[in-house]
Structure 1
Amino acid sequence: MKVWKLVSGILSIILFVFVSFQSCAAGVSNALEANGEASGSAGIIVAILMLAGGIVSIATRKSLGKGGNIALIVLFGLAAIIGFAGYGSFSDLAIWAGWCLINAVLAVVALVMAKKNN
């Protein structure tokens, strides 16, 4: 699971840049259209949680405790919930929320495997 955490962390940090730029563009579009949507703001929150999850994933990849996996479940799970709940006209946000959901599920798998090995 060390390799997964490293790859997941690096990809999440790289995707943070794309998600934040897309979210800014979606937020400007929502403001100019005055359509009352908040998908740009939801995207910024997802991007920040994705960045935090990537950093935690890289920082805890060699730890044997379960705290890092629990933090990953919370960060990526919260990002997935916010992303799926608020994507609106910014439909790419569902893709980024899907990535966060995959990471949260894999963190659950890592937590269960760590518990089984102990």
Structure 2
Amino acid sequence: MKIAIGIISIFLGMLVLLQSCTVGTASEMLGDQATSEAGAVGMLVGLLYFVGGAFAFGLPVVTMVALTLAGLLGFAAASSGSFSDLTMWAVVALVLAVGAFFSWRSGRKAKAAQNNV
């Protein structure tokens, strides 16, 4: 589960970062300030996806926190501009954060069972 969350987070981080970069640049050219700012927050969401993916293998708690923060930032930024795709990325980030939680919990249970034997 950790490997899947890590790989998916890194891949989606690249997608979110590229899409947000495009939206932010295009909105700035067109003079749409709110969507341009949402694109900037989207770039931060993409970077948080990368952080979550990088730490998924060794520290699922960091992944859980980074992806939860990405989800909350995504919802906040999507409500301020017309960058509605950020809502979808926020939902995906929260789903991956829940997966990281279960991965962390199963790792703790396995470690506790190993110590009890």
* TM, length-normalised to structure 2: 0.80
* TM, length-normalised to structure 1: 0.80
1:114 Cα deviation after fit: 4.1
Q: Does residue 44 in structure 1 map to residue 43 in structure 2? A: yes
Aligned twin of 1:26: 23
CA contact (8 A) 2:2 2:60 kept: no
1:109 Cα deviation after fit: 2.4
Letter of the structure 2 residue corresponding to residue 46 of structure 1? V
Q: Does residue 53 in structure 1 map to residue 52 in structure 2? A: yes
Unaligned runs of 5+ in 1: 61-67
Aligned twin of 1:102: 95
Overall identity of the aligned pairs, in %: 34
Aligned twin of 2:115: none
Pair member with larger Rg: 2
**What is the CA–CA distance in structure 2 between the aligned matches of 1:13 and 1:107, rounded to whole Å?**
14
Q: Which moved more, 1:99-108 or 1:45-54?
A: 99-108
Q: Which moved more, 1:72-81 or 1:25-34?
A: 25-34
Partner deviation per Cα, 1:66-114 (whole Å, 9 max, x = no partner):
xx23211211111111111102312111111111101111222233444
Superposition CA RMSD, Å: 1.6
Letter of the structure 1 residue corresponding to residue 45 of structure 2? V
Number of residue pairs matched by the alignment: 107
**What is the CA–CA distance in structure 2 between the aligned matches of 1:10 and 1:111, rounded to whole Å?**
16
Aligned twin of 2:61: 70
